[in-house]
Each structure stands twice: as structure tokens, then as C-alpha cells.
Chains A and B, each alone.
Chain A
């Protein structure tokens, strides 16, 4: 017994040594070519497209069949938004969307809808943004007719049941209460309020405004915005073109036409640049910095995306991430963000760092951004950002749902019809001069709103010249 064990052990040892030897030999082997020198086979890629049809009552419908799984997805987008909340009744839009799902329809009571959808394991949800709303349905293909029936009822004829409205108001108030417990959510909400001063986008719901909302407000809001001219749909998955059109005609055919809503006006941009503190006694500060930037319709949109990639959203190698996290170890999360809407954009930076390195991290971000502006982006960086964007482009086309949704959103946002076709070319043509020009306009720290949520009494000493901080209170 012993002997066997021993010999096994010896055998095992020699095997390991041998294997190690192989491995060591392999290191010097030509196998390890420098990764940049690998030659790749050519990639075949054709831009896949969903079909666009217009139904009799004007509904735009994108269709893409895909039979891999027995599922159907429906995505909808609506021209509306929380910017249309009546003053003093902030929250109407969001509650309308929530109640469309939970408040029953004129034909079917909410309890009945919940039971059937749960039984079918189908999911329906609506969500409200500042300048649009979305709706999503996901269901087994065998149940698509029944589920689409409910989906259409919720969109066309919601009942906004009183009892469900009361629950929704209470849950929203609870959500606001618990927002105070989440530093990142709270900081970004307050940052938005500062950026959108004197603008409908900065008017957010409060317990008071929520209590003021009645079913009548929801009905009025729904009537104004939810009609075929304000909606677009995409249906994808295990369904044929004809089935899709038939079902949509059946369930959305009687939907009465309405007036197309006006474009949401761009924000007034009357915000006050400066340094704002939001005091909360926690061991880590949330820093959010930002200013306005080009929108999606602006000719500089592509170039600005590349600038943002280099500044802080392009991962480990982007400047802010590298400076704050890799170099100094001051944060786990740090970088930049560029949120572009058709008519405007917001460019910003963020870092979450311990109380004692708060102002050091702020200076580091400011210094890093200043450096981009003064010393320019390098040709290697530009090449890295362009190649990353161009090579990664194919990942926007990995499922039927994604492909159709993207085309629908582009039409909804009035992007040029050849937007996707030309995307890579436009990125390819961006020059260092473009970035220099944009950095000069938009990477100006004196124009920034800077919000720091944290234990402001114990921040470190400011490293450079910082404006006098203004202490703000979160919205009640």
C-alpha cells in the first residue's frame, strides 16, 4: 500500500517537472508572438436590417424574424416624457407609465391581468424618461396573441384604477425616502437638478407633488401623448412578417389617430457653474462633474464620442480611469460619461473616493482633463479610440431585438437614414484637430458643475485653487 503510494507520488512529481520543462521551453518558443503582430483572418460582416412597415393608422412597425428560440419580443417607444409633468404635479408621467402596467385597462381588471401574465410567464413593463417613454413585452411565441392583446389594452385604454394609484404613490414616496440611502443615486439626481436649473428636466417629483396627483391627471396625460402618431414599435423573434402585421392590425388597428407631439425644447442651460457640497456622514465621497456637450444631431457628435472615450469612458487606458484608479489607487469607480440626446448632450466625470482623498481626486480629474486640453490627445490614443469603436461596431447587431430596436430608435430620434451605414466612416475621418477644437470648447473646468456628496467637514485640504463651495440640501 505504502509502496504504491510512493511510486505514484514519484511518478506524479516527474510528470510535473516534465511539464514545467515543456512550459519553460514554450516561453522562448515562437508561439508567443507579440499580440499586436497576430495576423487575423478577414471578418465578413453585412449590416443586418429589420423590415419597416407602416400600418393603416400610421403606426411604424419594425419586424425581424428569428426562430432560434420560441420567444417574441415587442419594444415600443413613445414621444412623451416627464418634462411634460404639469407644474406642481411632478411625477405624473412616471406614474402614468407605471399605472399603464399595474392599474388595469378598460376591458380587463388589474388583478386579472396580473394573474394571466404571471401564468403565461410573460413580462410587460413601461418606463418613463425625461423626453420619451418605452414599453417592452416578452413572451413565449405560442402566447403572443393573448399577451399582445393585454399590451395594446394597456397602451390604448388604461384604467388607472384608483386603488392601484394609491399604492403606486406610496411606493414612489418610499423610493424617494430610500434614495437618500444610496450615495450614487442621490448624487446623480442632485447633479441633474443643478444642471437643469430652471428647466423642466430639473423638476423632479416630491412627496408633495405626488400627493397632488389624481386619476384625472393621469388620464389627461395619457390622452395627450399616447396615440399612433407618437408611437413606434418593433417586433422580433419567433414570428413571421405576416403574423406580426396581422396581430398588430388586430390589436392596434382601432387605435385612434392623434396629434404628433412637438419636439421637446432643448434645455435652457442657465445652470450656475461652481462647486457644490451635499453633506452626508459616510466614509466615501461621490464626485460628479459635468457640463453641456453636443447632441446627437450636432456635426461633432461622433468626434465628441471619441473624445469622451479617450477622456474616461474607454476603460483602463482612458485618462481619468488611468490617473485616478490605476496610478493613484484613489477609486474603484472613476471615469467620464457622455449622455447624448438629439438636441443636446451632457459630458461629465465621476469618482468615488474615501473622505480623506476627496479634493485630491477632484484636482486629479481637473488636472487630467486640463492636460487633454493643453497637451492634446496623442496620435496613438486617437488610433486606439477609433479602432476600438470601429472594431466593436459589430456588437450592435448581435440579436434581432437589438437590431430592430436600434433602427426604430434612430428613426424616433430623427437620425439620418444612413446613420448606421456611415457610422464607421465618420469615426475613421476624425482628426486630432477635431478633438483639439472640441477639447477647447467643452473641457473647460470653469464651466463645470461640480457636486460632491460626502462628509464635507472632513475633506482633505484643497490641492489647487478651488471655488468657494456652496452647501446644498437634497430635494425633500
Chain B
């Protein structure tokens, strides 16, 4: 999830007060919000720009909700949700179910044997593997693969995809505006009757995804190690894709557990934006989604991260050029300091004249790239203000660290200039506006805010809050949070011979 979405929301209320223009993008008056009987929240926005519609479903479930030893489950579940339902993707579900049960039994036994490590019986493994392969072949007789994708694609669907974050899981697609019923049919069915087919093959796919995103990627590897150092207790320390010791052993049972536990209507938000008739669309959504039962899932808060009391350091050895991440704990949205850090992020690294870019890349010429993100790795719990930097050869991580930390210290003693502050606010404003030019972006923003805060209008005061930020606020936030004992520094270095 991009942090930008959070910021972009603010524009809905923010009226661009250009004299004599009616450009106020007053979404609050245009968005209709309905709570279905079972608790699903529906947001509708008519936008007649092209005969298309974007449809977003967000669930307040993410990697942060996983139990110890099951990291990666939320993300693997998201993959499994594309395997069809009891009525989509099957030729005969009753017959298919028997084979699926046998596959699960065999797969579970195989995992159990393999987990014995050196004590595992090679013959048992070979026999179970052969059996699993045979069952998978048998299963193909009853199964029509990739039906969800085929239905959407053939009907003109675009960007059919899903994503799993620490906080939220999202399923989205854009369709020709006359085909909303197809989406309602598929999505309501998979919230009610998903069937987890091809589980063991898909688990292998996700292992490849891990190799692609982490094992062979220096930045992916560094990010993972950085987060696990920055959080000692809180589950934000775990990678969304899962730890290599958990991922290979995730079970179909774990999938069902997460599905039952969290795929609850009360935690689900639907946003539909595009060439719709809101009344008709709501009728259709009610017809398909209202039969989904309310659930008994109880919200569970993750264990809070204890206050950090000493600087943490992590060095990753990787055959690649050096890079580094510095992070500081801070409160999450909507605590006021979070707005202050949004402004600070912009002042430090947005644009060629921003403080760190200008100093490190242009003036001193010791950095290749520099970027700052406020609010990683999620926003449901207190998060981090992070700085990513790569040195330009032959300069080093240590040189960058020195200069960056000095610049952060300067924030505590010298107030930022009014010009810098105005520039940052202008940029944040521009960011909102340019993010509002598509159905998909609007649906994404509306649903994200609603699922995160419980009210899409929560952003109402966002720009007002940004406008409130003073040089003193920045000074105070820097003094309070950008401290040595509150920071984690992770570096990636090539092995020294």
C-alpha cells in the first residue's frame, strides 16, 4: 500500500479556492455510503468520464494479524482466493471435494515427514510425493483452472489483481460499466464459498515470489532485515511474504483459519467508482453481498512494541553495491505528529531542491539516490519515519549516515524557512490532486481510508492539518522522535575479503 493514498484522500474535502472557479472536488456530497445488514460498508461514486467502472474490495486483515509461526499466511490466502469457488472452476464439486481432501491429507503427511529434516524417511517422502502428484493429476479432471481470471479478462476486465499489506488485503478490477453484475457474482461467491485448489503448487509459486523479491534483491533483503531489527516484538517485524522457516510449511488449515477469522463483513469495505447508476448498483450489491453472514470474529490487537531505548544496528552481507536504511519510531495516523512527518518527508527528499537530495546528490555528490517515507510498514499501529539512501561509488554508507544524521540534528536547532514549508505544502496539495484522475485511484483511496479509519471522510481535515504545521512543530517532532535511542540503522555491504 502506498502511503500516498492516505494523503490523496485529503483533497476530497479540500476546496481549491481559485476565485470564480467551481473546481471544488466535493466528493463528500457525491459519495454515498451504505452499511449492509451484515456489516459490509459500500461506497459509491458516480463519475461519467468513460463507460468504465473500478471496483475495490478491502478487508481489514493483513500480515500483521498472523499468528507466530504462520507468517506469510495472509498473502498465501490472497493467492488461494483466485482458485475459484464451489460453483466457479469446477465440473462436479461433490466429486472434486473428495480428491481435494485426499490431496490435503497427503500434503500434510508429506510436510510432516519433510519437517523431520535429517531424520526424515526418504522412501516415505518419495511415496507421498508420487501420491500427491497422482492426486493432482486426478484433480484436473474435475477442475477448470483460472476461471475467475478468464471471466474477468474475457469481459474486458483490466488490472484484475489483489494485494496483501501489513494492514489490509485488497481485491480489485476495472470493468466496462455494464458488467458490474459479473464482479458481484464472482466476489460475493468467493467471500462465501472459496475453494482452495492447487494449494501446494501455489505455495511453491509464492516461494519463487520470495526468491524474486527478497533472496535475489539487495533492497528487498535489506528492507526485510531492517524491519525485523526496528521492531522487536510487534508483528510489523515480520515480512508480508513470510519468513523462510514458516512459508514452506503453511497449511490449507491455516488458510481456512485466516479466512474464517478475518474475512468478516464488518471488516470489509467495497468502493465502486465510475459510470454507474448508484441506486441500481446498490441494489445489485445488496442482492449478491447481503446473504453473506455476519461473523463472530473478534478484533485482536497486536502486542504493542515496547519503547526503544538504544540504537539498533544491522549489517547485511550481500553481493551488491552498498545501501542503507535509517528509521525512527513515531505515532501513526491520525496523531498530529504524523502530519508533521508528512511535511518533513517532503522537505527532506521530494524534488531536486529538497534538503537531502540537494546536499547529498547535487552539492556533495556522495549519494546516488535518496528517498524518505513516512509511515512504513503500515498505519494501523505506530510506525516508522524512514530514510533510504545509496552511496555513489567510491563513497560509503558511513559517509552518508554522518551527513544525514547531521541534517536531522539541524532540524532540532534551526527552524525550517517559511519558503521551504510553503513549497512542501504546495507539493502535498499537488500530489492529492493528480491522484484523483482515475476511477481506480478514487476507488482505492475511498476504500483504503474507510477500512483504515472507519470513515472515508476522516481525511476531511487532512489538508487543514497539513496547513497548520509550523516550523516549531517540525522542530519539536524532530527533537522528540529523531533521536539516537529511537533509531535503527541497517546497512548492506559486500563481503569484505
Contacts from A to B (Cβ < 8 Å): 12-13, 15-16, 19-20, 22-23, 26-27, 29, 31-36, 38, 40-45, 48, 67-71, 102, 114-115, 117-122, 138, 140, 142, 167, 170-171, 173-175, 177-178, 180-183, 238, 281-284, 314-317, 322, 325-333, 352-354, 384, 387-388, 390-395, 397-399, 401
Contact = CB atoms under 8 A, between A and B. Distances in A.
Interface in B258-280: none
A181 B321 contact: yes
A236 to B, nearest CB: 10
| Interface size, B (range) | 35 or more
Interface stretch (B399-407, B433-441, B473-481): B433-441
A359 to B, nearest CB: 16
Contacts of A325: 205
Nearest to B149: A316
B321 A177 contact: yes
Given A69-B25, A69-B437, A181-B320, A391 B155 contact: yes
A174 B368 contact: yes
Residue in B206, B217, B422 with the greatest tally of chain A CB atoms within 10 Å? B217
A398 B439 contact: yes
Given A23-B293, A70-B23, A167-B362, A142 B18 contact: yes
A171 B392 contact: yes
A314 B153 contact: yes
B178 A41 contact: yes
A133 to B, nearest CB: 20
A316 B368 CA distance: 38
Interface stretch (B124-132, B181-189, B377-385, B459-467): B181-189
Nearest to A102: B352
A32 B182 CA distance: 11
Interface stretch (B48-56, B110-118, B409-417): B48-56
Contacts of B18: 70, 142
| Most chain A C-beta atoms within 10 Å of own C-beta, residue among B16, B153, B192, B429 | B153
Contact of A282 (B50, B146, B215, B434): B215
A15 to B, nearest CB: 7
A275 to B, nearest CB: 21
Interface in B217-270: 217-218
B305 interface: no
19 contacts: A12-B296, A27-B86, A32-B87, A32-B185, A43-B176, A70-B21, A71-B434, A118-B351, A121-B426, A121-B430, A177-B321, A178-B320, A181-B320, A283-B216, A331-B205, A352-B208, A384-B150, A392-B157, A398-B52
A329 B201 contact: yes
Interface of B: 16, 18, 21, 23, 25, 38, 49-52, 82, 86-88, 145-146, 149-151, 153-158, 160, 174, 176-179, 181-182, 185-186, 189, 192-193, 198, 200-209, 211-212, 215-218, 287-288, 291-296, 319-321, 351-354, 361-362, 365, 368, 390, 392-393, 419, 422-423, 426-427, 429-431, 433-434, 436-439
Given A23-B293, A315-B153, 5 more contacts: A167-B361, A329-B205, A331-B208, A332-B205, A384-B150
Contact of A43 (B177, B186, B189, B200): B177
A322 B145 contact: yes
A390 B157 CA distance: 11
Contacts of B205: 325, 329, 331-332
B433 A35 contact: no
A118 B431 CA distance: 12
Contacts of B215: 282-284
Nearest to A29: B291
Contact of A329 (B157, B208, B362): B208
Contacts of B438: 398-399
A174 B392 contact: yes
Contacts of A121: 423, 426-427, 429-431
Contacts of B288: 31
Contacts of B423: 118-119, 121
Nearest to A166: B365
Contacts of B422: 119
Contacts of B193: 27
Given A27-B86, A171-B368, A171-B392, A394 B176 contact: yes
